[in-house]
Amino acid sequence: MTRLASPDFVLLSFACLSLATLAGCGQAAAPVANGPLVGGDAEWPEAPIPQPGGNGEPGDDDSGGDGDPGGDTGDGGDGDGDEWGDPGDGDGDGGDGDGDTGDGDGDTLYDCLEPDDPDGCGVEPNICEAFPWTEGLGEPPPMSPACCIDEDCACMDGLCENAACTADGWCDCNCQLGEDPDCEVDSCAMPAPADEEAAACPDTKDPVVLYMSNDDSNSQASPAFVRRLVSEGSVVPASRVRVYEFLNYYDLSYDNPTADPVDVGIQMRRTDPDTGEFTLLLYAQGQALSPTDRPAFNLVYTLDMSGSMSGEPIELLIDTVTATAGQLRAGDKISLLGWDTEQSILLDGYEVEGPNDPGLMAAIAQIDASGGTNLHDGLVTGYELANEHYIKGGINRVFLVSDGGANAGITDIDLIAAEASDSDGEGIYLIGVGVSEASGYHDDLMNDVTDAGKGAYIFVDSEKEAERMFGDPERFLANTTVAARNVQMELTMPWYFGIKEFHGEEYSADPAEVEPQHLAANDAMSFHQIIQTCDPDAPQQLDTIKAKATYLHPDTFEPMSDEYVVTLGEVVNADASQLYKGDVVVNFAKAFIAISAMIDAQQYEDAIGTANAMSAWLQEAAEALDDAEVVEMVEIMSDYEAVLQGQFG
């Protein structure tokens, strides 16, 4: 199905610039003639963290995407998932390597300083000059003090609002090219693009067509794991932050007004008119499904009951199974298999009478931890039970619940992948649930088995989290059902756009390089990315951008598709509520990456200051969006600031 947006749009009014009226923006008006793109600037402030920063370790070659889109259709640039190359020095920040945009103390302003020699200021008109540096004074400082008594410097309440962009013979690393007359391309402030040809406009005007994936297993573990690390008073390593899992975890649901399994769309705002930078959210919303309309369940719980699960992990395992018990209805089949060195089948295809069935609750009460680990036999027996009680047309799932201490061998992965195959109808998908304290937990097991098993990967760190993921009826179905199979997301942009920063798992111009994923009912795929033009003046009002999803019907396996075509003039002035929240989610995750880099560089004041600034920024977003999940982010970031203050303050 193809949907064309109305060609009519209206520019944002002054009232529409208010964050409180964000959802009311984009009402239609009279048609507008073609011409340079007007309006569409983001209504919310940029996050107070270094930009850019991708998934995982900042500045490494894996941040942002797995494949180079290639050529003129969105080249992956330097291999880190952006097209134009890093605007920083490879350490994950965009400037001098100290992780802030100010004078090194973690905020975005500059302390007002007076030099010993007042004659060093006020030399160049209209330039806020810092201490001069000349030959004969030894090595130049890495960053000049940012403010002095120069009348061109604007100081308010002891803070300077102007960077130290001076004509002192030294390129200050906190100044952008063009602001500091001493800075040239490939200087510390503005490195040359890694690929000069990629930064230039292409020779042809063929559209840019890219294919994208967040994660083939709908992983959502990283945010809960990060939260648990903070609650334990630990520093969050950048390597444990996967931005796309934050997008999977938090609610970015969109309306699906159709009867089709999938509805696609785009939200977009201009974030830097000077460079032609935009933030774009491509999404696919699964069909709504109520608990009363769902098919019958055949659920097999293969439970790690080894000695390492003693204490909190086994309690979290029990919380997880108990939460799912409340979502069952008469006729659902449940099998409980506990494994350590031996195996114990507590329930074998037991047909429940309804929610919290007494027989099921009695079996849950028998769960205990002891003995060694035998994951292989637990998986083999689990799939045997799932196949024995298979419900045709039903939802057949294996739940693996473990503290991650076991290792999955090649034969285990092959078994899981074979059982998840849809070649003979609906496969038996595996859902992985990690239960543990954060310290010492390794998520390799759950990552591997859920990638092969085409199921969700979830980390449960509390009884509250178990209820959140499995006790909420809609969330439970989002974690267990399928609304569309083998969803392939496609984005078509005008010729002058390229991806600068991608917050999914992979993208490519070759659809064969991006693995399709299933989309659940009551769930959404969200692809947040920073795109940039090769020429800031290139975008035109009536240029179009297209979102498309191809997929298989969940029951008939019939090939289907949905696409949405909209003009740039309309999309940048339409509602962007989910884009704003997506921006919040992405920058919340990236803040942990940035802070980790600062701690690694022993820039502890910067780390604490960044956490403080992010808490304030998140609080503003929470009030603007009136969103309980963003309120939770404020609390987590505030707690993290306290952790950092306690360790490094």
SS3 sequence, 481-536? CCCEEEEEEEEEECCCEEEEEECCCEEECCHHHCCCEEECCCCEEEEEEEEEECCC
Q: Give dist(CA 36, CA 399) in Å, integer.
A: 53
Q: Give dist(CA 649, CA 641) in Å, integer.
A: 10
Question: Which residue type is seen at 452?
Answer: A
Q: What is the pLDDT of residue 41?
A: 94
Please indicate, yes or no, if residue 583 is contained in any of the structural domains: yes
Q: What is the pLDDT of residue 438?
A: 87
Q: Which two tokens stand for residue 511?
A: 């659809």
Query: DSSP label at 220?
Result: -
Question: Which residue type is seen at 400?
Answer: L
Q: Over 90: is that where the pLDDT of 164 sits? A: no
As a whole-number percent, the residues of the chain with pLDDT over 70 amount to 69
Q: Which two tokens stand for residue 356?
A: 């919290």
More confident residue, 190 or 432: 432
> Which residue do the tokens 């360790």 mark?
647
Q: Which two tokens stand for residue 330?
A: 């008469």
The whole-angstrom distance between residue 215's C-alpha and the CA centroid of its chain comes to: 11
Q: What are phi and psi of 283, to 5 degrees?
A: -145, 160
Q: What is the pLDDT of residue 235?
A: 95
Contact indicator for 138, 122 with CB cutoff of 8 Å: no
Q: Give dist(CA 494, CA 209) in Å, integer.
A: 9
Q: Which two tokens stand for residue 383?
A: 């799939």
Contact indicator for 576, 39 with CB cutoff of 8 Å: no
| Residues 281 and 301 placed together within one structural domain of the fold | no
Contact indicator for 302, 335 with CB cutoff of 8 Å: no
Coil/strand/helix, residue 234: coil
pLDDT tens, residue by residue, 486-511: 899 999 999 999 998 899 888 899 99
Question: Which residue type is seen at 69?
Answer: P
* Nearest CA-CA partner of 6 in 35, 32, 24, 38: 32
Q: Over 90: is that where the pLDDT of 417 sits? A: no
Is the peptide bond between 142 and the residue preceding it cis, with omega within 30 degrees of 0?
no
Q: For the ranges 51-65, 177-191, 470-484, which has the lowest average pLDDT? A: 51-65
Contact indicator for 548, 563 with CB cutoff of 8 Å: yes
| Residues 578 and 624 placed together within one structural domain of the fold | yes
Q: Over 50: is that where the pLDDT of 297 sits? A: yes
Query: DSSP label at 206?
Result: P
- CB-side exposure of 371: number of CA atoms within 13 Å? 16
The residue-averaged pLDDT of 106-119 equals: 43
Q: Last residue of some domain: 415, 447, 480?
A: 480
For residues 47-76, one letter each, b for 16 or more C-beta atoms within 10 angstroms of the residue's C-beta and e for the rest, the string is: bbbbbbbbbbbbbbeebbbbbbbeebbbbb
Q: Which two tokens stand for residue 495?
A: 């010729």
Please indicate, yes or no, if residue 94 is contained in any of the structural domains: no
pLDDT tens, residue by residue, 171-219: 444 444 455 555 554 443 333 333 334 457 888 899 999 999 876 568 8
Radius of gyration of the chain (CA): 27
| Residues 407 and 392 placed together within one structural domain of the fold | yes
Q: What is the pLDDT of residue 213?
A: 83
Please indicate, yes or no, if residue 75 is contained in any of the structural domains: no
More confident residue, 124 or 203: 203
Report which secondary-structure segment, H or E, holds 101.
none
What lies within 8 Å, CB to CB, of 583 at 6+ separation is 42, 44, 47, 279, 528
Q: Last residue of some domain: 445, 480, 515?
A: 480
Most confident residue range from 151-165, 189-203, 271-285 = 271-285
Coil/strand/helix, residue 388: helix
Q: Give dist(CA 248, CA 504) in Å, integer.
A: 10
Please indicate, yes or no, if residue 339 is contained in any of the structural domains: yes
| Residues 499 and 647 placed together within one structural domain of the fold | yes
Pairing of strands 484-493, 208-213: antiparallel
Q: Give dist(CA 124, CA 112) in Å, integer.
A: 18
| Residues 548 and 454 placed together within one structural domain of the fold | no
Q: What is the pLDDT of residue 379?
A: 85
Question: Which residue type is seen at 244?
Answer: Y
| Residues 277 and 313 placed together within one structural domain of the fold | no
How many other CB atoms are found less than 10 A from the CB of residue 10? 18
Please indicate, yes or no, if residue 463 is contained in any of the structural domains: yes
The residue-averaged pLDDT of 304-327 equals: 93
| Residues 261 and 312 placed together within one structural domain of the fold | no
More confident residue, 433 or 105: 433
Q: Over 50: is that where the pLDDT of 285 sits? A: yes
Q: What is the pTM of this model?
A: 0.75
- Residue 447 sits in which domain range? 291-480
Q: Over 80: is that where the pLDDT of 451 sits? A: no
Please indicate, yes or no, if residue 578 is contained in any of the structural domains: yes
Of the pLDDT bands very low, low, confident and very high (cuts 50, 70, 90), residue 420 is: low
Question: What's the CATH code of the domain at 595?
Answer: 2.60.40.1230
How many other CB atoms are found less than 10 A from the CB of residue 380? 15
Q: Give dist(CA 378, CA 403) in Å, integer.
A: 14
Question: What's the CATH code of the domain at 358?
Answer: 3.40.50.410
Most confident residue range from 33-42, 121-130, 614-623 = 614-623
Most confident residue range from 35-49, 83-97, 435-449 = 35-49
Q: What is the pLDDT of residue 377?
A: 84
pLDDT tens, residue by residue, 572-588: 999 999 999 999 999 99
Between helices 410-420 and 444-453, what is the axis angle to 10°?
30
Please indicate, yes or no, if residue 505 is contained in any of the structural domains: yes
Q: What is the pLDDT of residue 106?
A: 37
Q: What is the pLDDT of residue 413?
A: 72
Q: What is the pLDDT of residue 1?
A: 62
Q: Last residue of some domain: 448, 480, 512?
A: 480
Q: List Cα–Cα distances, 242 to 3, 183, 224, 225, 536, in angstroms.
A: 33, 35, 11, 11, 31
The residue-averaged pLDDT of 642-649 equals: 94
Angle at 608 between CA 604 and CA 609, to 5 degrees: 110
Of the pLDDT bands very low, low, confident and very high (cuts 50, 70, 90), residue 337 is: very high
Q: Over 70: is that where the pLDDT of 383 sits? A: yes
Contact indicator for 430, 458 with CB cutoff of 8 Å: no
| Residues 362 and 458 placed together within one structural domain of the fold | yes
The residue-averaged pLDDT of 607-625 equals: 96
Q: Over 60: is that where the pLDDT of 470 sits? A: yes
| Residues 497 and 620 placed together within one structural domain of the fold | yes
Q: What is the pLDDT of residue 324?
A: 96
Q: For the ranges 241-245, 370-374, 405-409, 622-626, which has the lowest average pLDDT? A: 405-409
Q: Over 80: is that where the pLDDT of 381 sits? A: yes
Q: For the ranges 247-251, 425-429, 436-440, which has the lowest average pLDDT? A: 425-429
| Residues 437 and 520 placed together within one structural domain of the fold | no
More confident residue, 247 or 81: 247
The residue-averaged pLDDT of 317-340 equals: 95
Q: Give dist(CA 634, CA 626) in Å, integer.
A: 13
What lies within 8 Å, CB to CB, of 360 at 6+ separation is 325, 328, 334, 336, 347, 350, 352
> What rounded mean pLDDT belongs to the chain?
76
Q: Give dist(CA 575, CA 283) in Å, integer.
A: 14
Total tally of structural domains belonging to the chain = 3
Look at the chain and count its residues: 649
Q: What is the pLDDT of residue 187?
A: 41
Q: Note the helical H segments in 401-498.
A: 410-420, 444-453, 463-466, 473-480
Please indicate, yes or no, if residue 585 is contained in any of the structural domains: yes
What lies within 8 Å, CB to CB, of 404 at 6+ separation is 434, 436, 441, 442, 443, 444, 445, 446
Report which secondary-structure segment, H or E, holds 435.
strand 429-435
Q: What is the pLDDT of residue 194?
A: 34
The residue-averaged pLDDT of 120-141 equals: 41
Q: Give dist(CA 360, CA 362) in Å, integer.
A: 5
| Residues 328 and 476 placed together within one structural domain of the fold | yes
Contact indicator for 399, 299 with CB cutoff of 8 Å: yes
Q: Over 80: is that where the pLDDT of 161 sits? A: no
How many other CB atoms are found less than 10 A from the CB of residue 125? 8
Q: Give dist(CA 606, CA 104) in Å, integer.
A: 6
The residue-averaged pLDDT of 235-249 equals: 92
Q: What is the pLDDT of residue 425?
A: 56
Report which secondary-structure segment, H or E, holds 230.
helix 221-231
| Residues 526 and 621 placed together within one structural domain of the fold | yes
